[in-house]
Amino acid sequence: MTEPVPADQSAGSDLGGPSDPAAWLTLPDVAERLDLSISKVHQMIRDRELLAVRRDGVRRIPADLVANKTVLKHLPGVLTLLADAGYDDEAALRWLYEPDDTLSGGTGAATLGGDHAREVKRRAQALGF
């Protein structure tokens, strides 16, 4: 069994990092955008269908992971693979937003919204081995 990958900013995790997304949504914003109840959004986070981290003391979700009234298609699978590889939410966020010139979108998160999303999923799967 693998050990969880700790967040680099344990005490200061409220501060955004250089690889953070440009825009954030609060949980009520996500509920409104997806036309769901706030409790369903909480359930989606628990089920690893969405990724939420604390910023400025408030749980937030990267806006680009919620597109056109739905969650990016491959996001839940990637989040599950990252969790299986021992990544906590902060580490998963860093992995998704780490600049990577070999990906068509420049980051895993940006690529998930495009034609090469399966490549991101493949790379996340490889982390478990």
Residue 1 falls inside a structural domain: no
Residue range 37-91, pLDDT digits in tens: 999 999 999 999 999 999 889 999 999 899 778 899 899 999 999 999 999 999 9
Residue 86 falls inside a structural domain: yes
Report the domain count for the chain: 1
Sequence length of the chain is 129
- Residue 92: name the closest of 124, 46, 54, 55 by CA: 124
Residue 56 falls inside a structural domain: yes
Residue 60 falls inside a structural domain: yes
Residue 47 confidence (pLDDT): 95
Residue 19 confidence (pLDDT): 56
**Containing structural domain, residue 114:** 24-127
Residue 53 falls inside a structural domain: yes
**Quick one: tokens of 128?**
């478990």
Residue 6 falls inside a structural domain: no
Residue 124 confidence (pLDDT): 94
Residue range 88-116, pLDDT digits in tens: 999 999 999 999 999 988 899 999 988 89
Residue 75 to residue 21: CA distance in whole angstroms: 15
Residue 62 falls inside a structural domain: yes
